[in-house]
Amino acid sequence: MMKAYRLLTYLFFLNMLAKRIIPCLDIRDGQTVKGVNFVNIINVGDPVELGKLYAEQGADELVFLDITATHEGRKTFVELVKRIALNLDIPFTVGGGISEIRDAEALLAAGADKISINSSAVRNPQLIDDLARNFGSQFVVVAIDALETDSHWTVTVNGGRIPTDKELFSWAKEAENRGAGEILFTSMNHDGTKNGFANEELALLSENLTIPLIASGGAGSMEHFAEVFTLGKADAGLAASIFHFHEIAIPDLKHYLRDRGICVR
Amino acid sequence: MKIVIIKYNAGNIRSVDFALQRLGVSALISDNAQEIRSADRVIFPGVGEASTTMEFLIHHKLDTLIRDLKQPVLGICLGLQLMCTHSEEGDTSCLGIFPEKVKKFVSLPNQLSELKIPHMGWNNLKELKSPLFKAINEEDYFYFVHSFYATTGVDTAAICDYLIPFSAALQRDNFYATQFHPEKSGKTGAKILENFINL
């Protein structure tokens, strides 16, 4: 009884760090889009307006991923990041197409709080060290898209299309050791399914990392978020379409999680 | 009112400017001694590494300048840490405005819940005692991102518990500082900046 009381005291008074809800906005040519299994891209509006709306509703952070490949689109994105930074009063991460220090520098100068690197880190792991040394670990999120086949989690690049020789768990640990400040793990098996997050793998990852873990891929219901924070031991849950298509409202989600004893803002 | 944000080799200085703009207040970002001294409010923000930023401040004579300021000064994140006496980050002697030391978070082996480092995300404060926290209460959340923390002591104006209770805010005379980022803490953060301006 005494022990249980102490445990409760500990949980309620010592650690009130809230679990984070992070809507992700895919940006193409300055507009928000969401791919369903990376095909059939549908436009869902102006990123700044959508971002502000999510912030007002209680989103804890936002991620903006530039899926534009062209040089012109790139410049549009940097301009967009400036508008986001001016208008948004919560932290945001930007990603997509960052392959060298000067890409990150331009985004930092535009006002991004963090950058997310994915394929470029797999191709050139030294990039993680360089970014962390230049801008601090808190600025560097390493995103990992992995696909499970026969119980082996292969790291993929180019939006899940190309398998690499890297394995999820060892790559995540390597990224941490090289100076990543956070890991954003997307299960390609779960992404777009709306059947829940890859909780087993997330829990394993979370236990093996000392840096925060953002879970992505598979959110379909509020219950899935409760699961990802308990079973999956994730520090943050990321989703896109369920928010964009109004399937889950952030205030309802926060309320639901709070009712289940999960600490949210 | 003239507000100056101190320009030095730390990141995210513009975020503070943007947050002030959202409040309808304009600020000057400057490393000019005259401009800083003549300001009504000085903000000393920053994300970065302690030893290199401290070296920069000393090299540009901003260290003595900041220490001698008489108007309200607000340090944010690294700003707070540099206003303490010493930081374990790069074994750095800091400005010594607050008598606290800055230490690195150490994860405890028998932690009941898995607390990550950096302390990243939204957390709340307790034992609030500063005009900075007018209309703020212990249920409000603020955004933190840091691997080093300031110890608690006489100048502690708010405590946050993460691995260990640390100074989430400090205040001594005209010097105010927050470990969290008011510029990134939504409406509650904006209220802190507003309180600082209205001191």
With contact defined as beta carbons under 8 Å apart, do A42 and A34 qualify? yes
Q: Is B114 a catalytic residue?
A: no
Q: What is the pLDDT along chain A (265 residues), one digit of tens a residue?
A: 444 544 444 444 445 899 999 999 988 888 887 654 444 556 667 899 889 999 999 999 999 999 876 777 777 889 999 999 999 999 999 999 899 999 999 999 899 999 999 999 999 999 999 999 888 899 999 999 999 999 999 999 987 889 999 999 999 999 999 999 999 999 999 998 999 999 999 999 999 999 999 999 999 999 999 999 999 999 999 999 899 888 999 999 999 999 999 999 9
With contact defined as beta carbons under 8 Å apart, do B66 and B29 qualify? no
User: Does residue A6 fall inside a structural domain?
Assistant: no
Residue B137: which residues within 8 A CB-CB, separation 6 or more?
B128
pTM, 2 dp: 0.92
C-alpha span between A213 and A182 (Å, rounded): 6
C-alpha span between A51 and A87 (Å, rounded): 9
Q: Regarding the domain with residue range B3-197, which homologous superfamily does it belong to in the CATH classification?
A: Class I glutamine amidotransferase (GATase) domain (3.40.50.880)
Distance from CA of B134 to the nearest CA of A (A): 20
In chain A, how many domains are there?
1
C-alpha span between B165 and B83 (Å, rounded): 19
User: Does residue A133 fall inside a structural domain?
Assistant: yes
Q: Is B35 a catalytic residue?
A: no
Looking at beta carbons, which residues of chain B come within 8 Å of A233?
Answer: 114
Looking at the complex, does the CB of residue B114 fall below 8 Å from at least one CB of chain A?
A: yes
pLDDT of residue B23: 96
For residue A163, say if its preceding peptide bond is cis, omega within 30 degrees of 0: no
User: pLDDT tens, B89-140?
Assistant: 999 999 999 999 999 999 876 554 578 999 999 999 999 999 999 999 999 9
End-to-end CA distance of chain B: 12
**Upper half-sphere CA count for residue A130 (Cβ side, 13 Å):** 15
Distance from CA of A19 to the nearest CA of B (A): 8
User: Does residue A1 fall inside a structural domain?
Assistant: no
User: Does residue A144 fall inside a structural domain?
Assistant: yes
Q: Can you give the three-state secondary structure of chain B, one letter per residue?
A: CCEEEECCCCECHHHHHHHHHHCCCCCEEECCHHHHHCCCEEEECCECCHHHHHHHHHHCCHHHHHHCCCCCEEEECHHHHHCCCEECCCCEECCCCCCCEEEECCCCCCCCCCCCCCEEEEEECECCCCHHHCCCCCCCEEEEEECEEECCCCCEEEEEEECEEEEEEEEECCEEEECCCHHHCHHHHHHHHHHHHCC
CB contact under 8 A, B118 and A10: no
User: How many residues does this entry show for chain B?
Assistant: 199
Residue given tokens 């010493």 in the structure block: B86
What does R_g of chain A's alpha carbons equal in angstroms? 18
Quote the crossing angle between the two packed helices B186-197 and B13-22, to the nearest 10°: 80
C-alpha span between B147 and B104 (Å, rounded): 6
User: Does residue A3 fall inside a structural domain?
Assistant: no
CATH of the domain at A150: 3.20.20.70
Looking at beta carbons, which residues of chain A come within 8 Å of B166?
Answer: none
With contact defined as beta carbons under 8 Å apart, do A94 and A111 qualify? no
User: Does residue A13 fall inside a structural domain?
Assistant: no
Range of A61's domain? Answer: 19-259
CB contact under 8 A, A209 and B146: no
**Upper half-sphere CA count for residue B81 (Cβ side, 13 Å):** 29
User: How many residues does this entry show for chain A?
Assistant: 265
Predicted interface score ipTM higher than 0.85 = yes
For residue A192, give the DSSP letter.
T
User: pLDDT tens, B39-91?
Assistant: 999 999 988 889 999 999 999 999 999 999 999 999 999 999 999 999 999 99
Looking at the complex, does the CB of residue B49 fall below 8 Å from at least one CB of chain A?
A: yes
Looking at the complex, does the CB of residue B18 fall below 8 Å from at least one CB of chain A?
A: yes
Q: Where are the domains of chain B?
A: 3-197
Average pLDDT, chain B: 94
Structural element, H or E, at residue A182: strand A182-187
Residue B148: which residues within 8 A CB-CB, separation 6 or more?
B50, B81, B87, B88, B89, B102, B103, B104, B105
Residue of chain A minimizing CA distance to B17? A86
User: Does residue A12 fall inside a structural domain?
Assistant: no
Residue A234: which residues within 8 A CB-CB, separation 6 or more?
A19, A197, A202, A206, A213, A214, A215, A228
